[in-house]
Each structure stands twice: as structure tokens, then as C-alpha cells.
Amino acid sequence: MHVILVAPHFPANQRNFARALRAVGARVTGIGDAPVEYLDSQLKSWLDDYVYLPRMLDEEELEKAVRSIQRKSWVDRLEATIETHMLPVARVRERTGIPGLTPQQVLVCRDKTLMKDVLRKAGIPCAKSARVETVGEGLAFARSVGYPIIIKPIAGAGAAGTHKVTNDRQLLEACREHHLDKGGAAAFEEFIEGHEGFYDTLLMGDEVVFDGVSHYFPNVLEAMRTREGAPRIVTTNLIDSVGAYQEVRDWGKKVVQALGLTNTPTHQEWFFGPKGYRFSEIGARPPGVCFWDVHNLANDMDLYVAWAEVVAVGRCSQKPSRRYAAALQAIRPTADGTIRAYEGMDRIQAKYGAFISKSHLPPVGSPARPVEGGFMANAWLMLRHPNFDVLKLILEDIEATVKIHAA
């Protein structure tokens, strides 16, 4: 089995896909936009070959590189796991005759308004939405749905470029940011009140061989707009015992079936509130912020190897233990500028060190990264505990205790 892996070098957890492919016996060729000298010796040991492609998102250049590899040896799979790479890779995959997700499948998972149109027709409960290309269309949508509404990029990831707007002035500002006055477009959506989480799967064929339900505290839009607090994402180990989770799983499986997805990871965002379950969006890829590492901590497994088995072998030996709840806890500096001091981390380490599995604590003198950089832009911890509710209390204690002073 020969697999071309796009971008094996960045971000940090990408190397695990190369590691896993090698572990299951696949031949691995990497294509990346970093010179080979940038790759460390360990990553190089997992790659049989590497092609440096400075303009990796240029489809013509990517196709030339893939065809060059094909002339040397048969290629079974062409895989990408980063959102921005998915569509160009799918188009090249189709043109070079390599099996995998089609451009249309990826497009539906990238274009938020098309995605919701398809899923509404399949009976999936979604927020009202529309592709908006003019300010007039945006104002008309707001009049029909009522404020607040959400405005986001057509094909974005995370909360980048996403706004909750509550009046015409804010709508006009968001329209300018999305360049609706210059030929741009944006996804306009009904605001859904409720708690936000996500449902991750790994599909072998159309069978779900792994799934996990996770929660945002607070919801993503709030977490990505203020330095206040220490936002966290928690994956539950109660997925088999809480009735509401079964509803999330049932709807989640209907989503992947409606989109015809097979042999791929998926990452689905959802809300649960006064209107019940509402689907938000899906990516045909793993979650961001290295969250497969959190799933691995929770389940005593290696999801990267599970993915590699699905891609390269057609089986999956990895099984989730559900022994732990696990979390990614962000800890943000108090201000922009430079980190001056840590407060309370020694007390947290003394109390909960046994539950902290991984950590990243930028040294004093490091820059305080912008909030928009996400959950891992500054300090973070990964923790696990057998009791979901106890873990939530530990995370709340960390938020109250640890301060990163910056100026």
C-alpha cells in the first residue's frame, strides 16, 4: 500500500499520520511546503520519499507532483487531513484516478450553506441559512429570521471570521469584512440558542468504528472573542450511558449517511438547547487543536493508527476503552504583550499533577498570542480523569487559580 500524505510536517500533530501509516506497513510519500531540510530525523524516518512543493494549494502544481510520483510507482491513496487542503486534494485525486472522497463530497463539507441545504432535505434539523452575496440580501435575511444572526465565511474553519450580529450596524460592518461590496460572499445563519459541542467519528466504509462526544465551555464564539476565563473542551466517557448523547450519535450518523461519506474521519459541530438538537457543520477530517490526542487519552487507544488501518489496510483493531473523560484546557495571558509571570501553576501541579497528561507553558518573556489564535495559541493542559463531573470541577479550579500575567 502506497499512500501520499499531504503536509506531514505541520501543524505539530501531522507527523502522527505519517507515523501511523508507517506503523501499519504502508509506504509513505510526503508532499509539503517546507524544504526537506526542515524535517527532523524522526519524521524523515517515517517517510519513504518527500516532495517539496512551495505552492501546495496550487492544484496544477499539486497534480504535477502526484503524477510524477505515480510514474515512479503505483499510488493507492492520496490523503489530506487539514481543512484548507481538502478540496484541492480531492480535485487532484479525481483527475489522477486515486480513490477517496470526491470533490463534490468535500465541497458539501466545506460550503456551509450548501451543506445545510443538502442536510435539511435529508431531514436533519439545521439553523436557517443562506449564501449572501450583497448587503441587500443580508438585510433581507435578517428581516426574515430576526436578530441575532450569525455571519461566517462560506468555507471557514473554527470561529475565524465568524460574528454574532444583533443590529443593522453590526451586520453592515460584518458585510464589509466579508467584502460583500466587492464581490465576496458569506454564510448567514439563524442564531441557535443552546450548549455547543461536537461529535467526532472515524468511518471504515460507512461503518462508525470510533465516535466521541465533546463539549465546549463556553461556546466557541464566546471563547474566541475574549481573554476572560480559561476556555476548555471536554470529551465525555458517558457516551454509552446518557440518553441525550444517543440522540447526538443518531443524528450524527444520519449526517454522514446523507453525505455518503466513507473511509474518513468526520468532525461535526452541534447545538442542544430549547429547540433540541441542531446540526451546525461538518468537516470530513479530524478535529483541530490536536483533539485526537485528547480522544486517545480518554480511550487508551491510538486514533492515528486506527485511521491508518482504515486507509491502508481496510480494518480497524483499535477500540475505545471509555475509561476517562479528558480535556484540553486553555490558559490565556491577561493582556497582549509579553508574558511576565505565572501564578498558581505550582499549586495546580501539586493538587492535580496525576491527572495532567500533557502541557505547554510558554516561558516568561514569550509573546502573549492573540485570542483569535485559538485554544492552543498560549498555555494549555491536557488532562484526564475517570469521572466526567470531577474533571469539570478540576478544570474550574484551574481557571480560578492559574493566572498568566502579561504586559
Indicate where the chain has its CATH 3.40.50.20 domain(s).
Answer: 2-100
Express each pLDDT in 57-91 by its tens digit: 999 999 999 999 999 999 999 999 999 999 999 99
Provide the strand spans (E) within 8-166. 27-32, 49-52, 77-79, 129-132, 149-152, 163-165
Measured between alpha carbons, how far is 399 from 397 in angstroms, rounded to an integer?
A: 5
Q: Which of 112-116, 286-290, 341-345, 390-394 has the lowest mean pLDDT?
A: 112-116
Indicate where the chain has its CATH 3.30.470.20 domain(s).
Answer: 195-406
The percentage of residues in the chain with a pLDDT greater than 70, rounded to a whole number, is 99
Kindly give the pairing relationship between strand 325-331 and strand 379-385.
antiparallel
* Average pLDDT value for residue range 351-367: 97
Measured between alpha carbons, how far is 225 from 371 in angstroms, rounded to an integer?
A: 7
**pLDDT value for 62:** 98
* Average pLDDT value for residue range 78-107: 97
- Is pLDDT at 265 greater than 90 in this prediction? yes
In this structure, what C-alpha cell is assigned to residue 18? Answer: 505519517
Superfamily of domain covering 128-190: ATP-grasp fold, A domain (3.30.1490.20)
In this structure, what C-alpha cell is assigned to residue 394? Answer: 478540576
The b-or-e profile of 261-272 (16+ CB within 10 A means b, else e) is bbbbbbbbbbbb
**pLDDT value for 391:** 98
- Show Cβ contacts of residue 354 under 8 Å, excluding neighbours closer than 6 positions: none
Residue 158 pLDDT class (50, 70, 90 cuts): low
Residue 156 pLDDT class (50, 70, 90 cuts): low
* Average pLDDT value for residue range 270-294: 95
Measured between alpha carbons, how far is 223 from 323 in angstroms, rounded to an integer?
A: 28
* Average pLDDT value for residue range 117-128: 95
DSSP letters of 252-293? HHHHHHHHT--SSEEEEEEEEETTEEEEEEEESS--STTHHH
Nearest Cα to 334, choosing from 402, 251, 236? 402
Q: Note the pTM of the prediction, 2 decimals.
A: 0.94
Q: Quick one: CATH architecture of 195-406?
A: 2-Layer Sandwich (3.30)
Give the CA angle between residues 390, 396, 401 to the nearest 5°: 125
- Is pLDDT at 157 greater than 70 in this prediction? no
In this structure, what C-alpha cell is assigned to residue 29? Answer: 510519500
C-beta separation of 362 from 316 below 8 A: no
Residue 270 pLDDT class (50, 70, 90 cuts): very high
In this structure, what C-alpha cell is assigned to residue 96? Answer: 489522477
Task: Report phi then psi at 140, rounded to 5.
Answer: -65, -40
* Average pLDDT value for residue range 173-178: 93
Nearest Cα to 322, choosing from 300, 295, 299? 299
Express each pLDDT in 312-338 by its tens digit: 999 999 999 999 999 999 999 999 999
The b-or-e profile of 2-29 (16+ CB within 10 A means b, else e) is bbbbbbbbeeebbbbbbbbbbbbebbbb
C-beta separation of 213 from 248 below 8 A: yes
CATH of domain 2-100: 3.40.50.20
**pLDDT value for 159:** 63
Indicate where the chain has its CATH 3.30.1490.20 domain(s).
Answer: 128-190
* Average pLDDT value for residue range 145-159: 84
Nearest Cα to 189, choosing from 114, 127, 126, 272? 127
